[in-house]
Structures are given as C-alpha cells and as structure tokens.
A and B are shown apart, each in its own frame.
Chain A
C-alpha cells in the first residue's frame, strides 16, 4: 500500500493547529475578557479554564512539533521569518501561564498585578498569533500594506478569541456573569464578522495565487459553499445567544458549538487557499517533507497515541463538567 505521507501529515498538523486555536482560543479569550468582570467573577472565569489551559497549550507544541518533524525545512524557514511575532507570542504565553498559577496563590495587590499580567499575556499572545497568521497568508512579504493587513488579522483573531471565550463562559458561568458573556458573544461576533470580510478581501487583493483559486469557474460554485456556510454559522450563534438571553429553551452549548463550526469552516477555506503549498508560492508540502522512514515511525505513534489523548482529555473535561465555582482548589 502506498500512502501519501506528506498529505497525511498535513492533515494531522492541520487538525492539531485547529484544535489548538479552538481550545487555547477559548482560554485566551477568557483572559482577554478578564478586566471587564468583577473580582469574584474573575475568580469564576479563571476557575472555568483552570484544569484545561495546560492541555490546551499542548496542542500548540504538537502542531509546531509536527511541523518540525514532518516538514523540517519549512519549520526553520517559517520560524525564522516569524522570529519577532513568535518571540512576542512566547513571552505572552509565559506571562499568562505563570500568572495563572501565581494569582491563585497571591493576595491583595499582588493578585491584582498577576491579573493584569494574565490579561496582558492573553492579549499579546492573541495579537501575535494574528500577526503570524497574517504574515503567513501573504507568504512573509515585506511592505507597509502587508503589515497593516497582518494587524487587521491580529485584531480579527482577538475578536475571534473573545467570541470563543464568551461562548465558553455561557456554558460554564451562571447569573450576572453569564449575562455579560451573552453581551460579549454579540460583540465578538461583530468583530469576527468584520475581520472575516476584511481578511477575505485583503487576501484576494494581495495574492494572485489565492485569487485565481477562488475565482476559477467550475470550482467557484462548490467553493461558494464556504462563505455561505460561514454566514449561516454566524447567524446561528447570534440567534442562539439571543434565545438564551430571552430565557427560551436553548442548549447553553449551542453558541460554543456554533463558534467552533465557524472556526472549522474558516479553517477549511484557509486550507483550500494555501494547499498544496506549505509556504505559499515557494514550497509545497512534498518539497518540505522529511524522509518517509521518519514520517512512518511518527505516524505509527500518532495513530496509537492520539485516540488515547482524545479519550483521557475527554475524561478530564467530564470530571470538571458543570458550572465553575469561585474556588479552584476545593
């Protein structure tokens, strides 16, 4: 049997990056929303992500690890091209990861300080990830237009994470905090919708390769499903949030699941735009791939271990189901 290993690894890497974006996205989003809540609400917010943030960030390590293992040449190129945003993201992630542990143990103004670090770290990490995405889409081109585009993408990512964080809180919080989360959901939706439009237009204008792929005639009809599905999903989340705030019967999970579907659809659109490149217009996934012998050994491990990871991560989510409490250590 002949498997096209680079394709398999592109899928694996895509899945881990998507898992990272959705999972760490909600906890970064909760971090970004922290200053807009009261002190006791802040404790609930942090409790709601406490048992999970660490495992969520592990998907980032897996994503970059797969890039490193499966596409070693691209790994070096991408990370050196993104040197500064990567650095800034890492500093943000360090701050918030540590702030998380420190703020639980701190009292008085120390706790305030660590709350602030937690917020700064979350915002900075989200912005840096957006800049990385923006620069990546444009194939690391240099010029003021590209930088502005990257900043717009960065703001869009912040909006998208706010949406994930807010819809997560709808599930995990109750009372006033849940009401606030419903308001934040609408703001996040607006921000994300604007960003999606701007990013789509910007990408079409800046990259001839992507433009041609999207405007090719027969494919166009099928591809149009992606933007249509996006609009439907955005409307779905808005509608569900509306129903919950009016007290109508609606699962508290619906806005979060709807948001995840927005991410999945947008991600598919992105993949369609870039495939078969790993660095757009410069390097395809086959040119960047590692030797089949090392891809095979990693694939065997991944196929055995990934289902186990899903099962025990699911177990952790099951243990900590239900509304979050103010106190994390009981």
Chain B
C-alpha cells in the first residue's frame, strides 16, 4: 500500500511540476520568435510602435522565462529524486539527449537573454537583433531535444543491449524516432496559438483603455493572426499526429476514443463516462462509424479497442476527457482568432465586445496545452518508456510522508507564483504605454 501511495505521489509531484513548467515554456517558445518579428519590423520601419511592443514583450518574456527556468531546474533534479530507476535503466539513451539540451540550448538562451533585455543601447543594432534571434533559436533547440526525448519514450527505437545495459544503436534513429517530427510540430504550433492568445489578450486589455494605442494594436493583430493560422493548421497536424499514435500506440488512441471493444464501424463518442472497473462506458452519445472514418478514412474499418491490450491500459477517463477538452478548445480558439482577424482588415479597430472576449481567453492556450499533455502522458501509462519500462519500476525509495510534505510545499509555492505572474502581467499590460524605451535626452535608440 505504501508503495502504491509513493508511486501516486511521485507521479502527482512530477506531473505538477512538469505541468507548471509547460505553462511558461509554451509561451516563451513562440514569444521569442514574435520578439524577433517586432525587432525586425522596428529595424525596417523605425516606427515607435514596434520598439514599444518589443520592449513590453521582452519584459513579459523575461518574467515568463524566469519561471520556466526555475521550474526546469526543479525538473532536472526530480528525474533523480522521483525516478531513479529511469536513468538506471534507459540513462544511456535518454541522458545524452538531456545533456545536449543543456549544452546547446540553455547556455545560449541564458547568455543572450541579458543582451536582448538590457542591451538595446549598449550594443550595435545588428548585435541586438542577433541576440534576439539566438534567444529564439535557443528556446526552439530546447524544445527540439526535450521533445526528441519525450517522443523516444513514447515510440522507442534505435536501442539495443550490451549485456543487460541498454545502449543506443544509432543516434539519428533515437532522435528522429517515429513520433518525433509530428510531436515537435504539434507542440511548436500549440505554443504559437498559446502565445498568440496571451499577446492578443493582454493587448486587448490595453486597447480597452486606449483604442488608439498603436503599439497595442499591432501587438493585438500580430497575436490574433498567429493564433488564427496556427489553430487552423493544428487541425491538420493534430490529425496526422493522431494517426501516427494509432500506428505506434494503439492503446492510447483506444483510450482517447473510449473504445473498450475492438470493432468495425467504430463510433465517435461525443459524450460518455468511461467506467474503468467494468471496462465499458456509461451514458454514451455516439455517431456510429465516424470514429472509424476519422482514424482510417473508412466507416467499415476495424479499430482496436482496449480489450486488445489486456491489463496494460491507461486510465481511460482522464485521457478520454482531456482529448475532448483539447479539441474543443482548439476549435473555439480558431474561430475566435479568425473572427477577430477578419473583422479588423483594412486597419479597422476591433469592437469592445471582441476585445473583452480576447481578454477572457488570454490564457486559454494553457488549458489546451495541458489537456494535450495529459492525453499523451497519461495515455502512455502504465509505461514510462513505452513497452520497455513501467512507471512503477522507476519510482525511488522516498516514502509517502516526505513526498507528501514536499508536494504540499511545491503546490504552495506554485500557487503563489501563478497568482503573482498573472498580477504582474495585468500590471504590465496596464502601464504598457508608458514603457518608453528611451528619453528625449538620450535620443533615439539604435535601429
């Protein structure tokens, strides 16, 4: 019993940390490239609205990045404190991917972040633009390595054994494992949608205070435009990613669809309450055959149900529901962003009502990203590395008491951080206009 508690607590703790971490990373990943865009637009046009936007959003970036960094440091330790068995058994393959992330990405971001934030008047324009680009490259490289590792845990290939030690047989196979390219693309686009809504939401708040704030307007439109295009693109990429999962992790797809039995003409369930104990759904509302069509483009196709995988199935309800939340949010975000963009063609200003909707949806990307991660991570259970290492076999000797105590502390500090983050963001949005990058005496900053 104690072991089961410790396993559950270790998972909750790691999930809390990694879930908290992804909130901030999903913003910075795309925001870094938006900053590059603002910076280039400023160089090209020399208009104050672009550098004002750049200055406001670098501050947001710095804050968001700081929270991402500190929670990321926690993660590098929790691999050891919570899952010592993970590195013991697959460390020879997983370790180098993490090492490359630190070496190629972390230092790059951290060193050039200072120049990007504080260096506008200290270095030549090209060096400042270069620093901004390198920060963006760093964040993307970081995502590249961490998603290579995560994807390898979902679809492990390219490994073999030397005695009983697992080793890599080819690093290109390990890195470019079957689920990696689509997962990376799906995550990068999700980050774009998330950051787009954060930018549009905060800028909407500023536009509500001053309709003619040009910097807020260009930021708002940039955010809404990114969100609209990428949310639409996610329909295609998300579908391909799902088909990829069907090929490599059919049990996860069965859980996403709530299919307990292997069947032809599998339904698409609009609503159901999965009942794990009796391995069936209660209260189904279904469209017959549509599930088969989505997964195989053929209403008569046979789709494997959870019965094909014996006891090795994930908890169905959270996967089933998280999947629906993700898809629904994605569609709503696409419609809202596209509506906002279409209504403001030819320099039209958005109405107050539209602006308030964007303010309300500022952090909607967070909910979608978290649901997406719950689908893919809970859907992998009971495996930590699919088919190779069970989560239960990787957990460490730390007892439930210490795990519980530390979990409470983490939860407390993360709540404090989340509240402070949102308060500071609101505060920044309010005084955004007054963030002038330069004073009269100092003259114009370098272009």
- Please give the residue numbers on chain A whose beta carbons come within 8 Å of chain B beta carbons, in ascending order: 50-52, 54-55, 57-58, 60-62, 64-66, 68-70, 72-73, 75-80, 83-84, 86-87, 90-91, 93-95, 97-98, 100-102, 105-106, 290-291, 293-294, 297-298, 301-302, 305-306, 309, 312-313, 315-316, 319-320, 328-330
Contact = CB atoms under 8 A, between A and B. Distances in A.
A316 B111 contact: yes
Interface string B51-91: 00001000100110111011111101101110011011001
Contacts of A90: 70, 73-74, 77
Given A73-B88, A87-B406, 20 more contacts: A51-B115, A54-B113, A61-B73, A61-B106, A65-B76, A69-B95, A72-B95, A73-B87, A75-B79, A80-B84, A83-B81, A83-B402, A87-B81, A94-B70, A291-B167, A293-B92, A301-B103, A312-B112, A328-B118, A329-B117
A20 to B, nearest CB: 11
30 contacts: A50-B114, A51-B119, A54-B66, A55-B113, A58-B102, A60-B73, A61-B73, A62-B103, A66-B99, A68-B98, A72-B87, A73-B87, A75-B79, A75-B80, A75-B87, A86-B77, A90-B77, A93-B70, A94-B74, A98-B67, A291-B167, A294-B167, A305-B104, A309-B103, A312-B112, A319-B115, A320-B114, A320-B118, A320-B122, A329-B59
A72 B88 contact: yes
Given A54-B69, A319-B119, A94 B102 contact: no
B413 A94 contact: yes
A29 B181 CA distance: 44
A171 B259 CA distance: 67
B72 A61 contact: yes
B81 A316 contact: no
Contacts, number: 208
Contacts of A316: 111-112, 114-115
A101 B425 CA distance: 12
3 closest pairs, A vs B, by CB? A76-B84, A51-B114, A79-B80
A93 B183 CA distance: 31
Interface in B113-139: 113-115, 117-123
Majority secondary structure, A binding face: helix
Contact of A101 (B62, B103, B115, B442): B62
A90 B117 CA distance: 25
Given A58-B106, A84-B402, A97 B80 contact: no
B168 interface: yes
A238 B162 CA distance: 56
A258 B420 CA distance: 40
Contact of A97 (B70, B91, B117, B409): B70
Contact of A313 (B55, B72, B107): B107
A320 B123 CA distance: 10
Contacts of B70: 90, 93-94, 97-98
B80 A54 contact: no
Interface residues of B, number: 68
B9 to A, nearest CB: 13
B100 A330 contact: no
B73 A101 contact: no
Contacts of B98: 65, 68-69
Given A80-B80, A100-B66, A301-B99, A291 B118 contact: no
Contact of B417 (A70, A73, A94, A291): A94
A72 B108 CA distance: 25
B339 interface: no
A157 to B, nearest CB: 18
Contacts of B65: 54
Given A80-B398, A309-B111, A297 B96 contact: yes
Contacts of B360: none
A319 B122 contact: yes
A54 B110 contact: yes
A144 B239 CA distance: 60
A62 B102 contact: yes
Contact of B409 (A91, A290, A306, A312): A91
A330 B120 CA distance: 8
A117 to B, nearest CB: 9
A95 B117 contact: no
A302 B413 CA distance: 34
A75 B122 CA distance: 42
B171 interface: yes
B428 interface: yes
B142 to A, nearest CB: 11
B69 A57 contact: yes
Contacts of B168: 293-294, 297
